[in-house]
Amino acid sequence: MTLPKGAYAPIPTPLDAGGLLDPVALDRHLRFLAQKGLDGALVLGTNGEFSSFEVSERLALAEAAARFAHGLSLMLGVGSSALPEVIQLVQAARYFGYGSVLLPPPFYFRSAPSEGLVAFFRMALDAAEIPVLLYHIPQVTGIEISDEILDAIIDHPRFGGVKDSSGKLGEIDRFVGRLGDHSYMVGNGRLLSATRAAGGAGSITASASVVPALVAATQRDSDRQPELDAVRGLLEKYGLGPAVKEVLRHKGFGDYRTRPPLLDLDDESSAKLIEEFKTI
């Protein structure tokens, strides 16, 4: 298997003023990311608001992104608490030419036993023909990718590694040490240099959608980390997902509206964000 590595952007899903997918904005953004030196893009991750879209919408977006990849390696988020939906999306990713998929735990069932979670993951892996990365984001899902889970599936030929968005420094050594030759992709831009130093494979960070050249440079040169920290801090200040969309809207890629329960930034917050972003 070819495992994901390098700098990826978890792209936001571009919605027009009517709340529908905007393929033109998607094309513009992916072209921009490729031109600025990124290695890949995650479609329908957390920043892509995957849980706000029905399966048919997600398939349409996955197909559109595959048409506009511009040489980027693509990863598809396949999260769902319904195993048949996960399998459908995993198989669609292979059909559309994706290089890998990202699978969170079945987040509705927070008290599921480890044996049940392992069964869920192994059945998804059995259906896959491309690498599957598990998504560790316990502050959202309420479920950790534990050592017990990893040990139970690490021998599966389609297991590709972990994306870790916990934001915890200590998790880097735990995962890198446990994963061996599998990919460890960090999901918080503040930890990019630490991941590089620990021998991780790369990053999938929100800042890469708006400052891809800086993220690509930081992937190679840890001296750029303070600049990246400043961007991450600004986006967090205004709300990571809506702030990324507001910057892309300002850059002219498209309307980039959100879908409830998320909300667009109000006019005052938007103006302040853009003013501070320009300063940085």
- Could you give the 3-state DSSP secondary structure of residue 2? coil
- Which residue among the candidates 13, 46, 205, 218 is catalytic per the annotation? 46
Q: Could you tell me if residue 236 is inside a domain? A: no
**Catalytic site includes residue 258:** no
Residue 118 confidence (pLDDT): 98
Catalytic residue of the set 5, 8, 141, 163 = 163
Domain count, the chain: 1
Determine, yes or no, domain membership for 92. Answer: yes
243 in a domain, yes or no?
no
Specify the pLDDT at position 248: 98
User: 264: burial class by Cβ within 10 Å (0-12, 13-18, 19+)?
Assistant: middle
pLDDT at 1: 79
Region at 34 (left for phi over 0; alpha for psi -120 to 50; beta for the rest): alpha
pLDDT of residue 251: 96
Instruction: Catalytic residue, from 5, 13, 98, 135: name it.
Output: 135
135 is catalytic: yes
Let me know if 163 is a catalytic residue. Answer: yes
Is residue 154 packed enough to be buried (19+ CB in 10 Å), middle (13-18) or exposed (0-12)? Answer: middle
Please confirm, yes or no, whether 279 is among the known catalytic residues. Answer: no
Domain membership of residue 58 as a residue range: 6-222
Judge whether 156 lies within some domain: yes
Q: Is residue 172 part of a domain?
A: yes
Q: What's the average pLDDT block by block, 10 residues per block, for the chain (280 residues)?
A: 95 96 98 98 97 97 98 98 98 98 96 96 98 97 97 97 97 96 97 96 98 96 96 97 97 96 96 96
Flag whether 98 is in a domain: yes
Look up the CATH number of the domain holding residue 80.
3.20.20.70
In a domain, 250, yes or no: no
